[in-house]
Amino acid sequence: MKQLETNRLILRMFTENDGEDVAAMCNNVKIYQHTLHIPYPYTKQDALTWIGFHEENRENERMYDLAVTDKLSGELFGSVGLSIHKTFNHGELGYWIGEAHWGKGFATEAAEAMIQFAFDEKRLHKVYTRCFDSNPASGKVLAKLGMKREGVLREHVRKDGKYLDLLHYGLLASEG
């Protein structure tokens, strides 16, 4: 996979050299609270294990996890990913941005590039995502992307001993 480029960002494959920065950003209770699969506390070994799966996932066209980096400095801001479900010809979008970089539009810009990749390169019919109802910032990102709120998955996941609702969003290739 080639890297993706936007006005301000380069989306590239993660390397082991990113492990320390990933760990520093993800070892944040606010990131943990708003994501489905990121543990807390989060260590460099967690980052390296996660990064270690990327190449095989990409080669098998299961998932594309890309580092969201500054186009000029190369600074790591976060991650954007796309899980491919070939049987259904759709993909699930996911992203996180380090807290120091929130509110600057990086999530929207990176996610938009990944959606374009999903439709143009992978020829998917649909891209969807889910977010906690307690994360209005993510809902705003999804609305900016043109994703439609399709419903609420009531008490769909258990986190910290509580069942939580997930908001489900989708975008069809014909809408993107």
Q: CB of 96 within 8 A of CB of 31?
A: yes
Beta strands 9-13 and 148-159: pairing type? unpaired
* Residue 1 predicted with pLDDT over 80: no
Residues 53-91: tens digit of each pLDDT = 999 999 999 999 999 999 999 999 999 999 999 999 999
**CA torsion sign, 124 to 3 to 75 to 84?**
positive
Banded pLDDT at 16 (limits 50, 70, 90): very high
Q: Residue 116's pLDDT is what?
A: 97
Q: Residue 176's pLDDT is what?
A: 79
Residues 99-158: tens digit of each pLDDT = 999 999 999 999 999 999 999 999 999 999 999 999 999 999 999 999 999 999 999 999
Q: What CATH fold (topology level) applies to the domain 4-128?
A: Aminopeptidase (3.40.630)
Radius of gyration of the chain from Cα atoms? 15
Q: Residue 152's pLDDT is what?
A: 97
Banded pLDDT at 2 (limits 50, 70, 90): confident
3-class SS at 40? coil
Residue 124 CA to residue 156 CA, distance in Å, equals 25
Whole-model pTM: value is 0.96
Residue 69 CA to residue 75 CA, distance in Å, equals 5
Q: Residue 29's pLDDT is what?
A: 97
Q: CB of 67 within 8 A of CB of 79?
A: yes
3-class SS at 144? helix
